[in-house]
Every structure is written in structure tokens, then in C-alpha cells.
Amino acid sequence: MKFKSNYLQEVYDGLEKHYPEQKEFLEAVGEVLMSLEPVVAKNPKLEEDNVIGRLVEPERVILFRVPWIDDNGKVQVNRGYRVQFNSAIGPYKGGLRFHPTVNLSILKFLGFEQIFKNSLTGLPIGGGKGGSDFDPKGKSDREVMKFCQSFMTELAKHIGADTDVPAGDIGVGGREIGYLYGQYKRIRNEFTGVLTGKGLTYGGSLARTEATGFGLCYYTEEALKTLKNDSFKGKTVVISGSGNVAIYACQKATELGGKVITMSDSNGYVVAPNGIKLDVVKQIKEVERGRIKEYPARANDGSEYHEGCSGVWGTKADIYLPCATQNEIDGESAKKIVANGAIAVCEGSNMPSTPEAIEEYKKAGIMFGPAKAANAGGVATSALEMSQNSERLSWTFEEVDEKLQGIMKNIVHNSIDAAARYGCDGDLQIGANIAGFEKVANAMLAQGIAY
């Protein structure tokens, strides 16, 4: 990766030398540092105090063994992680991912992204991420419970309502958060807001389940209105994934007047030309924990199932909302999106577009809403859950949803303003990186160098 600034080059090369195997992490850092070229050029203090060099190293990484006993009485072992990346503006905050692909590179990329995302929300939360290579798929509820209890037995030593507040992510939904919270409470004897995404009977916030998907659509709607004088109304929408983010993105995009025609999972995707029937998807995925290939027979709406993930990007639509996982759109898939005449790609999943894909969108003038801005509604609402826990109150769905809408609109405008200040008018990606960075960098400068 080539930078104009010698300082940025030195930081990036050093990182590449230390962590050559951490591809996802290097990709995420490279993407942010590229956007910071003009900021570093204008603010020599960033180099003098080596703010970037400090920013790319996590404050702390915790790695631990997670032993648990399966239903056959066999002792299993997984790896557990928590990356406490940056606490300059608030306690570490970020989800836990349980998926067989989890490793340190993926968690460091997610934790790094989380720093800027959390800053963009305007709320006082630092960046962190964690998880395990445990796969909840195909496990019984009891096995998931035993794993979560063992995971939390170690994690509890390192987190707290004012220190580090984890949440859900891929493979960690309401069931897992419940088991994790129960174990934290048993160990610490404290009923505090140490996790977010909790159930409504024990401190959860209304609208948290919906927040990432709804927030993605509020962001997309506001950006379309501001930059393209357009909206979801009458548009066809391709969504990938069929998990938490995808389901509620589908709901809100439909409510805003769009027609969602695809959803997918890691095996394949469905195309429903008349619009996805979300109640069928919810029943299959949320209630039965089934597969998306069951959709056509159940919905009986003329839809078709196709094996494989990347084909979904060849489906013609106006707006594309990737909501499954990282690097799901490569340069080739992005070329198909461009050829389909897309007007916007806004990211629900974290880093779904490779650098080559982003280049294709930009060349074609497609409006590109990067994940750290477009999917920040989830963590923003988690922070609202923390506020409600602190004041021992529960706000109504409407109150939370209204705050979420305000936050997503602010993210759009703060990104546009930051981009304009550095001569990159209308670039939501550069704007999000700069706006997220500025607050964290100022806090790091103000707090001095610890030695």
C-alpha cells in the first residue's frame, strides 16, 4: 500500500512487518489511513505525538481458553478473545462474534473499525471487539449455555459497566447474551449494564434488536436525500444475509417504500421478484433457526433459490445493502453491481466491500455509505441501553427510534461536512473516517502519552 505521507507509510509498513498474517486488520487500517492523508498533512502534532502509531495498536488484547462439556460428555476447547482497542472517548464497546472463522486478525479489524464508528455516533464510547471460534450452529441450547458460561467465567475478569461493555454480533443474539449476562451476574453479584442487547425483562432496550438494520435504512435515506435528491420510494433493493441486520434492514427498506428482492445465508440466496415476505424469513431464521433455501417452498411467491453467495450481486436492483459478512463483495461482484445500474451501496455488515469493490463504486459515481457510518445504529442504540441502565429507566420504542433517526442523520451530515473541509465533497467514506478520527485523536492528544 502506497501513501503520500512518509509518516503514514512508516506506520503502515511497521504494522505489515509485525502482523503479516493479519490480512483483514491490515485492510481495515489501510482504508482508514488513506483517508487521513489530508488530515495528517494539515496537523503536524499528529506525527509529533505519533497519534496514528498509537491508534493502530490495541490498548490490550486478552486471549483465553474456553473449555466446555458437550451433550455427549466430551470436553471441548475453543479460543476466546477480547480486543480492548481504544478507550480515549469512553469505555470499550463492541460486539462478540461466535463463528468458526474468528481469529485475531478479524477481531482486530472489527475493533479498529469500532473506534471510529463509536466516535461517529457522538456518544461517549471507546472501541473494542471480541468473540470465539465456537460455532453455535447445530449445537443444542444446553451446549450454547455451557459454552457461554465458560466464556464469561474468564471474560468477567476484564469487563464492567464503566470499563468494557460487549454486545452481540454474528452468532451472538438474544439467547447468547442472556446466558452470558446470567453468568456475569452469578460471578460478580452485580446487576449492571455490562452487556447490551439484553432481553427486555432484564434491562434491554426497546428497538435494540431492530437498530442496526433500521439505522442502515435511515442513513441511506438521508444520504440519498442530501446527495442525490432521491429516496427508497419505488426502488428495488438487494440485501445479503438473513440474520439480525438483514431482517430489520428488509423491514425498514420496505416501510420506506422500497421493494427488497433478495436475502441470503452462507449457502445461497433467494430472489423474490415480487418482494420478500419478511414474516416467512423471520419464522425460518428467528424462530426455527433454519436455512434460507426453505424460503421459496414456504413463501410460495414465485421466488427461486440459488446455491452460492456471490451470485446475489448479479441481481439487478437500484440499492444494494450487504448485511452478511466481511469481504462479501469483491471487484468482480462490484462490476456486476455497476453494470446493474445501481445508485447506492450502503454497508450493513462490517467491511463487506474489498478495496477493489470500493474503487469500482467510486469510478461509477455510485453513492457509497461505508459500514462504520451506515451500520452505527446498533452500537448507538447499545449506548442508549447503557444510559437507560444507568438511570434505571426504560424509554419507549418511539423515544429510542427517534433518537436513532437523529443519530443516523447527524452521521450523514457530519461525514459530508468533514469531507468538504478537506476538499472531498460528497465522499461519505472519507468523511466518515475523518469525522470519526478527529474526536478520538483530540482526546488522545489531550490525555497525553502514558509511559
Residues marked as binding for substrate? Answer: 93, 114, 117, 168, 382
Going from the C-alpha of 326 to that of each of 102, 232, 329, the distances in angstroms are 12, 25, 8
User: What is the nearest approach in angstroms of ligand NDP to the Cβ of residue 168?
Assistant: 5
The smaller minimum CB distance to ligand NDP, of residues 281 and 418, is found at 281
User: What is the nearest approach in angstroms of ligand NDP to the Cβ of residue 89?
Assistant: 18
Show the cell assigned to 8. 503514514
Pairwise CA distance, residues 76 & 386, whole Å:
34
Nearest one of 81, 131, 129, 57 to 378, comparing CA atoms = 129
Nearest one of 419, 410, 415, 397 to 218, comparing CA atoms = 410
Pairwise CA distance, residues 416 & 148, whole Å:
41
Nearest one of 387, 388, 323, 433 to 125, comparing CA atoms = 387
CA dihedral for 166, 167, 171, 173, sign (positive or negative)? positive
Pairwise CA distance, residues 137 & 110, whole Å:
22
User: What are residue 278's DSSP bridge partners?
Assistant: none
Burial class (CB within 10 angstroms; exposed 0-12, middle 13-18, buried 19+) of 175: middle
The smaller minimum CB distance to ligand NDP, of residues 329 and 367, is found at 329
- Residues at the binding site are 93, 114, 117, 168, 212, 244, 382
Q: What letters, b where the CB count within 10 A reaches 16 and e where it falls short, cover 420-432?
A: eebebebbbbbbb
What residue ranges bind ligand NDP (CB under 6 A)?
168-171, 173, 212, 241-246, 265-267, 309, 323-325, 348-350, 375, 378
The smaller minimum CB distance to ligand NDP, of residues 267 and 447, is found at 267
User: What are residue 368's DSSP bridge partners?
Assistant: 345
- Residue 228 among the catalytic residues: no
Pairwise CA distance, residues 321 & 220, whole Å:
9
With H, G, I as helix, E, B as strand and everything else as coil, classify residue 392: coil
The smaller minimum CB distance to ligand NDP, of residues 141 and 425, is found at 141
Sheet holding 60-69, edge to edge: 60-69, 75-86, 126-132, 92-98, 164-167
User: What is the nearest approach in angstroms of ligand NDP to the Cβ of residue 243?
Assistant: 2
The smaller minimum CB distance to ligand NDP, of residues 58 and 378, is found at 378
In this structure, are strands 344-346 and 236-239 parallel, antiparallel, or unpaired? unpaired
**Selected catalytic residue, list 23, 42, 45, 129:** 129
Going from the C-alpha of 130 to that of each of 3, 272, 343, 390, the distances in angstroms are 30, 35, 34, 23
User: What is the nearest approach in angstroms of ligand NDP to the Cβ of residue 266?
Assistant: 3
Show the cell assigned to 152. 464469561
The smaller minimum CB distance to ligand NDP, of residues 237 and 323, is found at 323
The smaller minimum CB distance to ligand NDP, of residues 169 and 230, is found at 169
Nearest one of 211, 123, 196 to 401, comparing CA atoms = 211
- Residues at the binding site for NAD(+) are 212, 244
Active site members: 129
